[in-house]
Amino acid sequence: MAKKQAGAKGLLIVYTGDGKGKTSAALGMCVRAVGYDWKVCLIQFVKGSWKYGELKGIKRLEPNVELYTAGEGFVGIVDDAKDFDEHRRAAKNGVEFAIEKIKSGEYPLVILDELNVAANLGLVTPEEVESILAARSERQHLVITGRDATEELKEKADLVTEMVEIKHPYQQGVLAQKGIDW
């Protein structure tokens, strides 16, 4: 059987698991795509209120990479004083925006960072995830990150990588570090 030409089939790629590296893996793919002069759309769910290094780093990849935040910050952690409905509205807007960007046909690669987390928190419904998946063309690559990917999403994916934490500096009392963790 003849192999399909490279790029003939868009892949659904899922990076999940409890270990670090899901967003980093997606960003590595983003950098690789830019190396081939692709346009990349990166939409971050849940993240939003914090300022972290990837925001500055991605700016250096413009105009090939567009980064959008579709969240009001991490839900239910230390500094989150927002109502859950506010988080839900932001995620719903993010889903609609993601579908619009996917359907535009402008991006060979779309990355939906932390979409799994948004889904697990109930910010994004299973039906909305299905709408996102249905929006992409046969040749478009879609990367979805975040812990706790559903079995349904894993089954539909062409590639699933589960990050497993073996050892973490936090276990030895080392706090998150600028440039490494955020």
Helix (H) or strand (E) holding 69: strand 65-69
Distance from C-alpha of 86 to C-alpha of 88, rounded to nearest angstrom: 5
Other beta carbons less than 10 A from residue 46's beta carbon: 26
Residue pLDDT, tens place only, 13-22 = 999 999 999 9
Identify the structural domains of the chain with CATH numbers, from first to last. 12-165 (3.40.50.300)
pLDDT of residue 5: 46
Q: What is the mean pLDDT of residues 81-93?
A: 80
Distance from C-alpha of 114 to C-alpha of 66, rounded to nearest angstrom: 16
**Is pLDDT above 70 for 139?**
yes
Q: Could you tell me the pTM of the whole model?
A: 0.88
